[in-house]
Amino acid sequence: MAEKFTKNAVGRMIPEKINGKPVIPFQGVHKYITDGKRYAPPLSSSANFPEDGNKQVKDLKTALKNAGIKDGMTISTHHHFRNGDLIANQIFQAASEMGMKDLVWFPSASFPCHEPIIDFLKDGTIHHIEGSMNGPLGRFASQGHMRGAGVLRSHGGRYQAVQDGEVVIDIAVIAAPTADSFGNANGLTGESACGLLGFALADSQYAHKVIVVTDNLVPFPCIPWQIQGNYVDYVVEVDQIGIPDRIISGTTRITRSPDRLFIAELTAKFCDEVGIIKDGFSFQAGAGGTSLAIGNYFGEIMRKKGIKARFARGGSNQYLVDMLEEGLIDYILDGQTFDLAGVRSMRENPHHVNTSPFTSYNYHGKGNFAGIVDVVILGATEVDVNYNANVVTHSDGYLLHGIGGWQNCLFSKTVILPIPLFRDRIPIIRDEVTTICGPGELIDVIVTERGIAINPRRKDLLEKTANSKLPIMTIEELKAEGERICGVPEPVKLGERVIAAINWVDGTVIDVVYQVIE
């Protein structure tokens, strides 16, 4: 059966259906306006819940059974425990033991620790994964071994899809570092503290059944209730929900690579020169080594100027917390804590505020925080001469990363991608990226170790840097420089089978990922 494909607004061919469901091809930024309604889950009645509020059941299997698990259901998890999660594998182990088939796993992200899920994809317990597939699961899908197609969404897009009913979650399992027997839960305390539980918010609000699993059950009330027990059906106490040192690594450090440090310095200088770093400004960097270095340079500039930032969006870590505590930042608006300093600060400091994909990123809300941020620093695996960028596949075609909040952050006032000109002798700037995750019109500046390219749409930035000593170049010049050093890369031969869709923030499909021919 030949699939029908349509060309979307960034020139990519999009199939009519993904996993049997019709899709809308990407129509351009701010072009597709939904006329839908918010998803309406079945109402509950307190008559069906314990009068004393105690929803505890003996184990995960009982909770899944009580929740009415059956073949074909969609089961969601969240990724606050990153590579230390112990619950997702247990869910599908239990489901497999119960003889379930064709489940859809809808994680907010998956990690190498979830490699055992491959067994459940192979034995038919799971049909496919909707969500980012970092590492081994991505490789497995890229090799064409997953029955359905993966659907990758940004953090905001995942909230949007759940809110809009594009994904109906039958059972959400929320692993919580602290919870009470009513289901109130948070990530601030306990052995598995991860800071916050924002990625599970949509799941709690819209899933038909919600199970909270905790290894730190406290007497009601669990304060604060980042997850509200009023959305929760069952509570399960277990010995351990995550491996602390894989949840919070505490090891992210500012890069020592001279090239990366140079890129970071260039980025900060650029921001300063075009007037972004001013009193009351806001920024979002990230937790990678280069991003941390940029944050550090921002701090130096702020100290020198005697100014402060109104807020920084996190991923938080020690460096950002230090800036908050030094008074360089009024508020951290945090979507994910990356180390124990972040967890402690969020627990103790009312200026370190937990956010969610709803507040920060949901495109089908009445605006979101992304557009309020003055400058955002993001990464990319590839960028093309039209400033389109890729974050999910490598140039060899393998799907190895999720989108995270990357697409959502593109709505910031200025979007800067500090990237090396090449990685493993493969140039990063290409004629066409393997997979378009973000349209070039939203990407303003590329900073590399050899020069800075400004999107021609940003005439204001071009004017401000017209007489600059910064190495301003065209993107074509940057591309040529990369190819001069590494050679022109060979095109990669990919298969015809679509193994994943890349959704845009509005639920349309911006690109698809093809099977890799090995």
Query: b vs e for 432-451, b when ≥16 Cβ sit within 10 Å of the residue's Cβ?
Result: ebbbbbbbbebbbbbbbbbb
Alpha helices in 153-250 (DSSP H): 155-163, 201-206, 244-247
Nearer to a second copy, 354 or 393 (CB): 354
SS3 state at 273: helix
210 near a second copy, rule: CB under 8 A:
yes
36 near a second copy, rule: CB under 8 A:
yes
SS3 state at 335: strand
- Catalogue the E-assigned strands of 189-326: 209-214, 234-237, 282-284, 309-316
Distance of CA 262 to the CA centre of its chain: 27
Handedness of CA 319, 286, 163, 183 (dihedral sign): negative
Contacts of a second copy in 476-515 (CB under 8 A): 506
Under a CB-based contact definition with an 8 Å cutoff, are residues 175 and 87 in contact? yes
- Of positions 130, 203, 233, 449, contacts a second copy by CB under 8 A: 233
Chain length of the chain: 518
203 near a second copy, rule: CB under 8 A:
no
Nearer to a second copy, 37 or 493 (CB): 37
Nearest to 362 by CA among 145, 517, 201: 201
- Of positions 40, 327, 466, 467, contacts a second copy by CB under 8 A: 40
Minimum CB distance to a second copy, residue 224 (Å) = 7
Contacts of a second copy in 152-171 (CB under 8 A): 163-164
Minimum CB distance to a second copy, residue 252 (Å) = 25
308 near a second copy, rule: CB under 8 A:
no
DSSP letter, residue 438: B
Minimum CB distance to a second copy, residue 212 (Å) = 11
| Beta pairing partners, 83 | none
- Of positions 6, 44, 468, 474, contacts a second copy by CB under 8 A: 44
Where does residue 197 rank: exposed (0-12), middle (13-18), buried (19+ CB within 10 A)?
Answer: buried
For the record, the structure tokens of 397 come out as: 């075609």
Q: With CB under 8 A as the rule, give the number of residues binding a second copy.
A: 64
- Of positions 1, 2, 35, 493, contacts a second copy by CB under 8 A: 35
Minimum CB distance to a second copy, residue 195 (Å) = 16
327 near a second copy, rule: CB under 8 A:
no
Q: What is the DSSP string of 62-107?
A: HHHHHTT--TT-EEEE--TTGGGB-SHHHHHHHHHHTT--SEEEEE
Binding mask 346-385 for a second copy (x = CB under 8 A): ----xx-x----xx--xxxxxxxx-xx-------------
Contacts of a second copy in 46-75 (CB under 8 A): 46-53, 55
Which residue type occupies 206? Y
Nearer to a second copy, 275 or 367 (CB): 367
SS3 state at 139: helix
Nearer to a second copy, 41 or 420 (CB): 41
- Residue 444 and residue 206: Cα distance in Å, rounded? 36
Stretch that binds a second copy, among 129-137, 219-227, 387-395, 472-480 (CB under 8 A): 219-227
Residues at the interface with a second copy (CB under 8 A):
30-31, 33-53, 55, 163-164, 182-183, 210, 219-221, 223-225, 228-233, 280, 310-311, 331, 333, 350-351, 353, 358-359, 362-369, 371-372, 411, 413, 506
